[in-house]
Amino acid sequence: MNDLLWTKVDRYLANALLPEDLILEEVLRSSEAADIPSIQVSALQGKLLMLLVQAQGARRILEIGTLAGYSTIWLARGLPDGGRIVTLEADAHHAQIAQSNIAKAGYANKVELRLGRALKTLPILANERIGPFDFVFIDADKKHIPEYFDWSLKLSRPGSLIVVDNVVRDGQVVDLANREANIAGVRSFLERVGQDPRVEATAMQTVGMKGHDGFAVVRVKS
């Protein structure tokens, strides 16, 4: 219904605000050629991630859900020299294409991809004492967002920023008849985070070429 207008405005904003980006255009082409679903963040959203990383002064980033590395590259662009990203991906095909995209973008030395289901790899990170991460981007399966959020808190520090993608899902989040596990995961995350004394949280709805969705931004209290 409004999607056409949203897409048009997204195109207008991208034209006005984003310089030509041959690297990320090539990433999108290569993911399409590899039959990877086009569910990465938009360019405008990716740039917001980069700006948040910069505003945060983040040096260590954790990403849960790599897909083809599109958001990873935006996050990497916000890092200073010596900054590092650990990104977690369960699908071996996605991971392989992501590694190649990340290398082509020139970030192989900054990004460590860990293959495996995040609920398996997160405890390993914790055991290795790799954190604390200054910035976390949660964008894997939505069913497990509450668990990913708990691990993110364990792996972060006072002042860390945690961004969670896809918390609106075309408004399904308020459709109480919807019993889908993914929606239940989003809802239980939002309801818990609002009551959690350790953090301050907000969420923004988004519309655009990716439809109607939203992201939550959570800061671990100092």
Binding stretches for ligand SAH (CB under 6 A): 39-41, 65-67, 70-71, 88-91, 94, 117-118, 139-141
- Cβ 17 to ligand SAH, closest distance in Å? 18
**Phi first, then psi: what are they for 167, rounded to 5°?**
-95, 10
- Distance CA(218)–CA(222), nearest Å, equals 12
Asked if residues 63 and 83 have their Cβ atoms less than 8 Å apart, the reply is no
Phi, psi of 137 (to 5 degrees): -120, 110
CB atoms within 10 A of CB 28: 17
Question: Whole-angstrom Cα distance, residue 42 to residue 46?
Answer: 6
Q: Does 139 bind ligand DHB (CB under 6 A)?
A: yes
Whether the upstream peptide bond of residue 19 has omega within 30° of 0, thus cis, is no
117 binds, among ligand SAH, Mg ion, ligand DHB, none (CB under 5 to 8 A by kind): ligand SAH
Question: In the bound complex, what is the minimum distance in angstroms from residue 87's beta carbon to ligand SAH?
Answer: 8
Q: To the nearest 10°, report the CA torsion of 45, 46, 48, 50.
A: 170
- The minimum distance between CB 176 and ligand DHB, in angstroms, equals 21
Looking at the Cβ atoms of 10 and 139, the one nearer to Mg ion is 139
Nearer CB in complex with ligand SAH: 17/181? 181
Residue 166 found at the interface with Mg ion (CB under 5 A) = yes
Select the binding partner of residue 196 from ligand DHB, ligand SAH, Mg ion, none (C-beta < 5 to 8 A, by kind): none
Residues that bind ligand DHB (CB under 6 A): 39, 139, 165-166
